[in-house]
């Protein structure tokens, strides 16, 4: 669990260095062996340490009792998924995009054939990290980044605002 916690904190520090008050919230999808449904069970971090299987089971039994008004402390349980939610607090004042002085045109790194509404289009591809404030991208286009892909459909335009957000609007001609 320590590896997942460190990876989570490292990811957040890289993706959003201004975020403070970082908190990790652990949960697991758990069930009694043989059941076909799981209960998301919130877990205290102490339950994730070696030798804390009794605390994991206790958390599940409590969640099962809250959900179904009964539990079976003698029954075997299993963990289906384990997850960590990383949250933090944004600063009160957002900083402007450090690339706000770039020219409005963005440079494509290539293109890809895509299908939108039953029609084929050649979509320009852009790296999200290379876009700066004020830049505009006309669709069809694809913006790639480490954690998501954004489609800008035909007759839509994406503009990078002064804080680095993509603002996607439908063209007036559409």
| 76-112 residue pLDDT tens | 999 999 888 888 887 766 565 555 454 456 788 889 9
Neighbours of 28 (CB within 10 A): 23
Burial of 139 per CB tally in 10 Å (0-12, 13-18, 19+): buried
pLDDT digit string (tens) for 2-55? 777 788 888 888 877 777 788 888 899 999 999 999 999 998 877 777 677 888
Helix or strand (DSSP H, E) at 78 = strand 77-89
Candidates 174, 118, 120, 114; CA nearest to 150 is 114
Produce one character per residue of 144-166: b if its CB has 16 or more CB atoms within 10 Å, e if not. Answer: eeeeeeeebbbebbbbbeeebeb
**pLDDT score at 99:** 53
Strands 20-32 and 77-89: antiparallel
Task: Please compute the mean of the pLDDT values over residues 58-75 and round it to a whole number.
Answer: 93
Neighbours of 173 (CB within 10 A): 5
């Amino acid at each position: 669990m320590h590896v997942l916690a460190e990876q989570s904190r490292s990811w957040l520090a890289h993706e959003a260095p201004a975020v403070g008050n970082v908190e990790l919230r652990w949960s697991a999808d758990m069930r009694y062996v043989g059941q076909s449904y799981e209960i998301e069970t919130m877990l205290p971090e102490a339950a994730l340490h070696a030798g804390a299987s009794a605390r994991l089971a206790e958390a599940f039994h409590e969640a099962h009792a809250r959900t179904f008004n009964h539990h079976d402390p003698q029954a075997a349980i299993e963990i289906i998924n384990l997850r960590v939610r990383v949250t933090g607090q944004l600063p009160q004042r957002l900083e402007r995009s450090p690339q706000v002085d770039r020219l409005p045109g963005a440079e494509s790194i290539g293109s890809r054939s895509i299908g939108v509404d039953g029609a084929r289009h050649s979509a320009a591809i852009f790296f999200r990290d290379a876009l700066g404030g004020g830049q505009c991208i006309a669709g069809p286009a694809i913006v790639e980044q480490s954690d998501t892909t954004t489609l800008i459909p035909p007759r839509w335009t994406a503009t990078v605002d002064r804080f680095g957000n993509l603002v996607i609007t439908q063209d007036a001609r559409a």
